[in-house]
Amino acid sequence: MTDPSYTPPKIWTWDQESGGRFASINRPVAGPTHDKELPVGKHPFQLYSLGTPNGVKVTIMFEELVELGIAEAEYDAWLINIGEGDQFGSGFVDVNPNSKIPALMDHSTNPPTRIFESASILVYLAEKFGKFLPEDHHGRTEAMNWLFWVQGSAPFLGGGFGHFYAYAPEKYEYPINRYAMEAKRQMDVLDRHLAENKYLAGDQYSIADMGIFPWYGGMARGVLYDAAEFLQVHEYENLLRWTKQVGARPAAKRGMMVNRTFGAPESQLRERHDASDFEANTLAKRIERGEAEAPEAA
Ligand SMILES: N[C@@H](CCC(=O)N[C@@H](CS)C(=O)NCC(=O)O)C(=O)O
């Protein structure tokens, strides 16, 4: 398949056989592929998501709000299996016309409010509850700077580096070089900033940290794309210090478990409907009770 001197044809056509990990779900058109209503649970907030870095941004925020004792921030988190095409169901597309997790409905408003794009969800929740976004204009702007930064930067890390290093059907030198360079540059941006600042927006932990931690904290912890050695992530000492600090927060630990479909069964809470689920309904507990099957060993 490798063709280093590919000449694009006059008109691009959809090659369904192009291969790679996500080939079966990628399409050149938008819109639903099938009719399917979304489930609605008992809480005002209904989250439709998956435990990928973009999903985890939002579950960390919800768990931080719940940790503060804000009962109105209780939520149901439903699993959207993007490998099976759940994001193309008609109900999901009504909540997010872009067919990507995370997507949120707030049923406490009249009419209910749909919120899509992870950063938009973080801002919505921060504004609704007056938490995790500095109140002064200067601090708020700095938090927004970093939140917009991650929305613009992470696609080069995930869709660029991660795709070509871990998911593409073959290893191609040109894109791996190009995106390894960019991934390292981005980690250096964070490392330099965190040398001078406790958190991204300064002294205060904010939605900027929640947006950046699942991606760049994941790189620092070596859990994304198995690339810690390749990209020598130990060099970014300030990024590592911040990653440990954020990762030690109880809400971050819980948020990383929600809608997770990989890793140890005790780390997976595939759906979250109540705060007690972290104890009672992990995959490990459900396997113990005979309600779920143990995942096949990788
Ligand atoms: N910019 C979006 C990106 C969301 C996104 O890329 N979600 C991925 C999973 S991490 C997805 O749902 N992919 C399914 C698909 O592309 O069909 C956000 O921040 O919410």
Q: What's the CATH code of the domain at 248?
A: 1.20.1050.10
Is 185 part of a structural domain of the chain?
Answer: yes
Ligand 1 in contact with 25 (CB < 6 A)? yes
pLDDT tens digits for 73-131?
999 999 999 999 999 999 999 999 999 999 999 999 999 999 999 999 999 999 999 99
Pocket test for ligand 1, best of 22, 95, 101, 212 (most atoms within 8 A of CB): 101
The reply to whether 237 falls in a domain is yes
* Number of separate domains in the chain: 1
49 close to ligand 1 (CB < 6 Angstrom): no
Q: 242 in a domain, yes or no?
A: yes
**Residue 297: per-residue pLDDT:** 67
Q: How many CB atoms lie within 10 A of CB 283?
A: 23
Segment 129-161, tens digit of pLDDT: 999 999 999 999 999 999 999 999 999 999 999
* Residue 225 maps to a domain: yes
Given this model, what pLDDT does residue 298 score? 54
The low-confidence residues of the chain, meaning pLDDT below 70, are 1-4, 16-19, 297-298
Is 287 within the bounds of a domain? no
Atom 6 of ligand 1: nearest residue by CA position: 100
195 in a structural domain: yes
For ligand 1, say whether the CB of 96 is within 6 Å of any of its atoms: no
Predicted structure pTM score: 0.96
Query: How far is it, in rounded angstroms, from Cα 212 to Cα 218?
Result: 9
Task: Give distance in angstroms: CA of 100 to centre of ligand 1.
Answer: 4
* CB of 147 closer than 8 Å to CB of 208: yes
Residue 235 lies in a domain: yes
- pLDDT for 4 equals 67
The residue whose CA has the least distance to atom 19 of ligand 1 is: 118
Structural domain contains residue 187 = yes
In contact, 121 and 58? CB cutoff 8 Å: yes
Task: Give the domain extent around 189.
Answer: 137-252
pLDDT of residue 156: 98
The Cβ-side half-sphere exposure at 272, using a 13 Å CA radius, reads: 32
H/E stretch holding 115:
strand 113-116
pLDDT at 295: 86
State if residue 87 touches ligand 1 by the CB under 6 angstroms criterion: yes
Regarding the beta carbon of 52 and ligand 1, being less than 6 Å apart is answered yes
Q: What is the pLDDT of residue 110?
A: 98
